[in-house]
Amino acid sequence: MSDALEELTAGAPGTSTCWFVPGRIEVLGKHTDYAGGRSLLAAVDTGHTITASARQDRVLRARSEGADGTVMIDLDRPEESAADETEGHWGGYVRTVAARLEKNFPGQLRGADVTVTSTLPLAAGMSSSSALVVGLALALIDLSGLAADPAFTREITTIEKLGEYCGTIENGQSFGSLAGERGVGTFGGSEDHTAVLCGVPDALVQYSFCPVRHERTVGLGDELVLVVAVSGVEAAKTGAAREAYNRVSRAVIELVLRWQEATGGREETLADALASATDAAARLRELAAADDYLVGRLEQFLTESEQIIPAASTALETGDLEEFGRLVDLSQTGAETGLRNQVPETIALQRLAREHGAHAASAFGAGFGGSVWALVPADGAERFAAEWLEAYRAAHPERCDATTAITRPGGAARRVRR
């Protein structure tokens, strides 16, 4: 596994840098990370390449070959927009990263010309936005030598902590002594950032969160591949979609607040509350009983994080693909009935994948659109992908832009030598 933290701390900063940051597939772990739960993850073999060259002034100039417009940021005033960016413009992520790094490491960011190229489908649930945050942070930290700053070395001591820090860049929270900034307006955790920084080739990684802790690595044999179907429904986190996304996370905050008020406890995550007493689950059910959505959200977390993921990892390790598929089906049900973040298209894709012989299949990512993964034999993957896509388009002819891709777990974010 390539350790991006070692890459950042190796040698003096140069005048240019280039990083590849993969997307990720959330095999299991739907909205569990920011609640202190666990996830089963894979980095993929597609992603963003971020190239940065130092400038003489304190201007950050960023462009993406896959999006319109050039973003110009005065690093002395990163919060001020030099362009009229609409809601959801990719430049908002550039500005968020620049503002946070400037706040945490005042005056040390170098001006740069940044170019982003990508082989990752946008708003498909494969963490294109978080991968962009990580890639921009890596490039700017590298180019400016921020990894040598005492504040950095004190707080960011492992690759997992770097993932946590990148998560707080996106959600706006503080990380130790590194004070928070506005973020991008969505409340999420560090699952995506951890996956792209800690992914292992040909394997799935199981992590728990708040703080990030590696639990196990599960190899995926050469005889299996993941087929991803992009539904054609954009998995956006802006506008009305942001409100729907944040409803899922706010339910966790509400459960923790009710727990604290009822018990006087100081637990900060749902997982911590559940671990604090033998009857915690029963007490939380009582506290949520009057709110149907809170009840479903609590049960989804309990089942997904505490039961499904450990058992599914074991099933995959022992080669019990039938049991693995059954557990993944339970996870999908939890998303539909507990999170309520699925749309007809992702539900159809999951069902059709199973009907066409996938060992397991599930929607993944933030929800409300995006993609579905299917685990299938490698020697029949192309045929499966074609038949799956054909069946989906027949069921949803309005989604003629749906696509499929065959992938295996790839490596972590890494410097590109040029």
Element (H, E) at 17: strand 16-28
Residue 87, pLDDT score: 45
CA–CA separation, 393 and 402 (whole Å): 8
Residue 292, pLDDT score: 97
287 with 185, same domain? no
Number of H helices, E strands in the chain: 14, 12
Residue 86, pLDDT score: 44
209 with 285, same domain? no
Number of domain units in the chain = 2
CA–CA separation, 342 and 349 (whole Å): 11
Residue 1, pLDDT score: 41
71 with 92, same domain? yes
CATH of the domain at 359: 3.30.70.890
Could you tell me the pTM of the whole model? 0.93
Residue 141 buriedness (CB in 10 A; 0-12 / 13-18 / 19+): buried
124 with 80, same domain? yes
154 with 261, same domain? no
> For residue 333, what are the contacts with CB-CB under 8 A and spacing of at least 6?
none
Residue 417, pLDDT score: 87
The pair of structure tokens assigned to 336 is 């539909």
Phi, psi of 349 (to 5 degrees): -60, -40
Residue 343 buriedness (CB in 10 A; 0-12 / 13-18 / 19+): middle
Chain centroid, CA 372 distance in Å:
15
User: How many residues can be counted in the chain?
Assistant: 418
* CA atoms in the 13 A half-sphere facing the CB of 279: 4
142 with 114, same domain? yes
109 with 161, same domain? yes
20 with 155, same domain? yes
CATH of the domain at 153: 3.30.230.10
271 with 377, same domain? yes
For 73, 295, 304, the CA distances from 254, given in Å and listed in that order, are: 37, 11, 19
- Domain ranges, residue 25: 4-220+411-415
244 with 393, same domain? yes
Residue 234, pLDDT score: 85
248 with 209, same domain? no
- The identity of residue 232, as a single letter, is G
Q: Which residues of the chain have pLDDT under 50?
A: 1, 82-84, 86-87
175 with 296, same domain? no
